[in-house]
Amino acid sequence: MKKVLVDGHYGTVNLNLNKMIMNRDDLEVIYLESPKKVTEEQRRNLLNTADIVILCQSAQTATETIPLITSPNVKVIDTSNAFRLSPSWVYGMPELSQEQRNKIASARFVSLPAPMAVGTVMLINPLLKGRIMPPYLPLYVNSVIGYSNGGGNMITMYEDPNRPRSYSSARMYGLDQNILQQKEIMHASGISYRPSLNPMIDDFPNGILITVPLQLRTLAKRLHSGQIYEVISRFYEREPLIEVVPFEGSIESLGGFLDAGGMAGSNKMQIFVFGDNDICLLAARFDNLGKGGAGAVVQNMNLMLGLGEFKGVI
């Protein structure tokens, strides 16, 4: 039985991590929500005797915690943005490639991707790997996400009956176009320039929709949108957590609308390809608390501990 220590309760991962791992028969799970409830010596002992530590902390607290983990046998998953760009940490996105999956399995330190980066990289990676989309292509990314992405404080704000009226409509953020996820997307995908991001938070609890429009005449290979679908579908055909929705009939099956909360409660991701011979619209829909949160933590944890990758996820 593997010993798992969940240290902290900051952010959104802890919102449903508990129910995913607490009742597993192959794990002994300890939750350390507040360091104040134990002595410093007790906390150090817990951190250095676990098989894996999952840090649900702010970036600053995570950087302060890592030096306390001195045992080389302890593995760590950090859910903050503290180490996502660090060359000494492995980026926790197994679907990037088999090589990436192997790196995660043998890693001691793994950083959890941000939901916006997860969807964006999943959409463009097959086209970059297939040399269809050049790495220098200007990239525009739109996203709509539920308010749980802001953690406990934002959930409280949105669910307050006396909240500001503006919370009832979609609100754009990252207006200065200086967003950490830009660098993260570059780091994970290998594109050459910062993408333009248009992120919005809306009045629903959880779920996220990422869309990337492409002018097909600007690609390295001029393909029809249906051919783009074939490339992406083949790339993910053996990934049980990725469903590439058939190109033909997808718009009709959706009734002409694609809602951002359609995968809420799931640990899977849906990928859609729309368009014609001139313009292609790529879309990724998933749960920011699932494939964009705790579901991704459990998938990475399973790999790092040598357990079945999708146990407790599917």
Q: Which of these, 97, 101, 112, 122, lies nearest to 271 by C-alpha position?
A: 122
| pLDDT score for 35 | 65
Q: pTM of the predicted model, to two decimals?
A: 0.96
| pLDDT score for 105 | 98
| pLDDT score for 255 | 97
Each residue's pLDDT tens digit in the chain (314 positions)? 999 999 998 888 988 999 999 999 999 999 997 667 789 999 999 999 999 999 999 999 999 999 999 999 999 999 999 999 999 999 999 999 999 999 999 999 999 999 999 999 999 999 999 999 999 999 999 999 999 999 989 999 999 999 999 999 999 999 999 999 999 999 999 999 999 999 999 999 999 999 999 999 999 999 999 999 999 999 999 999 999 999 999 999 999 999 999 999 999 999 999 999 999 999 999 999 999 999 999 999 999 999 999 999 99
Q: Which of these, 135, 106, 56, lies nearest to 294 by C-alpha position?
A: 56
Is residue 15 within 8 Å of 289, Cβ to Cβ? yes
Is residue 220 within 8 Å of 131, Cβ to Cβ? yes
Query: For residue 28, what are the β-bridge partners?
Result: 3
How many other CB atoms are found less than 10 A from the CB of residue 65? 20
Which residue matches tokens 């990725």? 242
SS3 at position 279: strand
**Domains of the chain by range and CATH?**
2-113+292-304 (3.40.50.720), 115-289 (3.30.360.10)
d(CA 21, CA 123): 29
| pLDDT score for 104 | 98
Is residue 145 within 8 Å of 115, Cβ to Cβ? yes
How many other CB atoms are found less than 10 A from the CB of residue 59? 18
